Chains A and B, each alone.
Chain A
Amino acid sequence: MTKELFTGAEMVVKALSALKVKYIFGYPGGSVLDLYDAIFQQDEIEHILVRHEQAATHMADGYSRATGEVGVVLATSGPGATNCVTGIATAYMDSIPMVVLAGQVPTTLIGNDAFQETDIVGCTRPIIKHSFNCRDLADIPNVIAKAFYIASTGRPGPVVVELPKDLLIPQNKAEFAIELDVKMRSYNPNVKGHPKQIRKAVKTINEAKKLVVYSGGGIVLSDASELLTTLVETLKAPITNTLMGLGGISGTHENFVGMLGMHGSFEANKTMANADVILALGARFDDRVTNNVEKFCPNATIIHVDIDPTSISKTINAHVPVVGLVEVVMQQLLDELAATNFTPDEEALADWWQQIHLWRDMRHVGYKQVAGEKIKPQRVVEAMYKITNGEAYVASDVGQHQMFAAQYYPFAKPRQWINSGGAGTMGFGLPAAMGVKLAFPDKHVICITGDGSIQMNIQELSTCLQYNLPVVIVALNNRSLGMVRQWQDMVYGGRHSSSYMESLPDFTKIAEAYGHVGIKIDTLDELDSKLAQAFSIKNKLVFVDVLVDEKEHVYPMHIRQGGIDDMWVEKGVKA
């Protein structure tokens, strides 16, 4: 009996089907035309044609952040592949599982500076979890299976697979064999925390008088929010989230003291600074959290749980390091707490919470909206929250609007808040929102953006029309690169060098030109009603252009080089 033979292009599609891929986000070109031909001739996987490869990566990324699945990108060689670089870096910084299939010139031409030849594996080497140069047709299925396995296990991240054209063409065929149960001798991510470290951690927790739980994106990525909530309720401790960790515990949970860090809440940063034990769960002591590391929480004993050993003691020394999957380690901690009959020290807890309530009552996250004056951006976010019952997916761009969204839209669930935290990539918001909408067509999906950021991927309005992705875009239009302007106000003597935009288009007309609905809001009176109207339109994309006060700053804000609780709390006022 002769075995059935397949082209490389067919193998790619078969492998992706075997891995249960539903969508590929991409853009065609010479080196991958055979692959596009194979995609055309099947209907298990849908290809989403973006308008720029960067958007394909962000869309795959948003899709992954919302669903937990691996996002899949397809781009042609050369410029197609290099256009993916920003999106790959964005996914890398936030540990998002992604597989990027990049075309390449035929193996016979590699190294010749052939037309559209770029060494994409070389270009992306510092911003990927791993990459593969495919050089043999028969390897394709297992390389793709490995790519998915690596991307989605351990600390997730992007994997690049380079596919030379001669491996995909109809003339070359081979048998198809795929091993989905991938085993690699060089890659075995740790799962369980070391029992000795678990006992040490619980002992430290037992001795704590002022414990705080500090959790990050790891909780979201591993869908461990229920376990986290149980742990926090068992410990009766305050909890703060990083920007990436929002939704890890409900933003309205009574133990939640808000986001910490550069634009964190006053009470979150105070609680951290005064804690005697910090239990860090799937967070990495990023410089936007710590401020000056020399001054970081000097009196705290730090228990650091993370899947990635390199994250532990990289910036801040961990007294009790625990390497393992955060959901597994949290269960181990709960078991050990139960086994040692843990009962919180009620007296110490009462004192600690009393102190935290005092900080909370100072209510330093605040703004003043005066009737008749320009709309405050924070007010817009609060209105969005009310109209959507706090249940929307919110994908953000980067800038002040991102921080306002993080501060004023308390997320009830993980994966609701989709933002580029580590890389801070402007242009992320719209394509990411599109990826979310594709996954959850019946949910409200908001893209909160700025007049600067939206223009970095605005061409995707066209993709939205093609695939019917009616996201609600809310632009907090301050006619400036607000976050840059804020720094210039605070650090550069108010010199607004290249931070405002004198030639902004009429965004509502752009939306209309692309076949969508545009709504402009420029007075407070009409804010709530017009926003409600925007959210009531279900089958069309609505671009809401809200003209907001351009002078508003994001507060609190870390004072540079200070401790975690050295903050500006309003213009010219230090905490």
Chain B
Amino acid sequence: MRHILSILLENEPGALSRIVGLFSQRAFNIESLTVAPTDDNTLSRITIATIGDDKVLEQIVKQVNKLVDVIKITDLTERKHVERELLLVKVVAMNDKSRTEVKRISDIFRGAIVDIGKQIYTIELTGSSDKLNAFIETLNNETEIIESVRSGCVGIARGEKALRV
């Protein structure tokens, strides 16, 4: 099963490499990983999307927690949460027909065209990873994707629950 793990850790040099190293050393899977300082810039927050059964997940959570730099880790997928990912995608938009079509699709998905070239549109879209996948698939049917980049997912628990020091 897919899990989204949120990790709060010291914003120290080398802290990220310990997390990444741990995953490769113990053959844990990383589907995506994002990292940035939080509102308190002594702290970093990492979001990792990973796949594994309950036993593997238990080990991942424990092993990450054991790292000296890590303050907290939670599995967001255990409860209600909001999950978002950002996509930037550059597609071919050669003529009126294809421009209209790309615009129409991106409107349906609530994307925004953020750059226009002679023959290209660049679209920005946020949403769940599933939504991004569906968008890419639809675009693929209509036009040609030249380049795409995804942020990897970030997430936050719904309600009062907060990941803080």
Contact = CB atoms under 8 A, between A and B. Distances in A.
Contacts of A184: 68
Nearest to B68: A130
Given A186-B70, A310-B66, A125 B13 contact: no
A309 B62 CA distance: 6
Contact of B165 (A130, A185, A309): A185
A133 interface: yes
Q: Main secondary structure on chain B at its contact with chain A?
A: helix
Contact of B21 (A126, A133, A185, A187): A126
B14 interface: yes
B137 to A, nearest CB: 39
B17 interface: yes
Nearest to B26: A126
Nearest to A150: B68
* Residue from the set A150, A185, A186, A308 with the largest chain B CB neighbour count within 10 Å: A186
Interface residues of A, number: 19
Interface string A125-151: 110011101010000000000000010
Contacts of B65: 309
Given A125-B18, A126-B25, A133-B14, A308 B66 contact: yes
Interface in A86-136: 121-122, 125-126, 129-131, 133, 135
A184 B14 CA distance: 17
A186 B165 CA distance: 9
B38 interface: no
Contact of B17 (A125, A150, A187): A125
B9 A186 contact: yes
Contacts of A308: 66
Interface string B48-69: 0000000100110011011011
Contacts of B75: none
A186 B66 contact: no
Interface in A272-318: 308-310, 313-314
A186 B62 CA distance: 14
Interface residues of B, number: 20
Nearest to A186: B71
A309 B63 CA distance: 8
Contacts of A122: 17
B59 A314 contact: yes
B85 interface: no
A186 B70 CA distance: 6
Interface string A400-442: 0000000000000000000000000000000000000000000
* Residue from the set B13, B14, B55 with the largest chain A CB neighbour count within 10 Å: B14
Given A185-B71, A186-B9, A121 B66 contact: no
A185 B10 CA distance: 9
B145 to A, nearest CB: 37
A308 B59 CA distance: 12
Interface in A133-188: 133, 135, 150, 184-187
B68 A310 contact: no
A459 to B, nearest CB: 32
Nearest to A184: B68
Contacts of B165: 185
B14 A186 contact: no
Contacts of B58: 313
* Residue from the set A184, A187, A313 with the largest chain B CB neighbour count within 10 Å: A187
Interface in B3-53: 9-10, 13-14, 17-18, 21, 25
B114 to A, nearest CB: 36
A199 B39 CA distance: 42
B59 A310 contact: yes
Interface of A: 121-122, 125-126, 129-131, 133, 135, 150, 184-187, 308-310, 313-314
Interface of B: 9-10, 13-14, 17-18, 21, 25, 55, 58-59, 62-63, 65-66, 68-71, 165
25 contacts: A121-B14, A122-B17, A125-B17, A125-B18, A125-B21, A126-B21, A130-B68, A130-B69, A133-B14, A135-B13, A150-B68, A184-B68, A185-B71, A185-B165, A186-B10, A186-B68, A187-B68, A308-B66, A309-B65, A310-B59, A310-B62, A310-B63, A310-B66, A313-B55, A313-B58
Nearest 6 Cβ contacts at the A-B interface: A130-B68, A310-B62, A186-B71, A126-B25, A309-B62, A125-B21
Given A131-B14, A150-B68, A186-B9, 8 more contacts: A125-B18, A125-B21, A126-B25, A133-B14, A135-B13, A186-B70, A309-B65, A310-B59
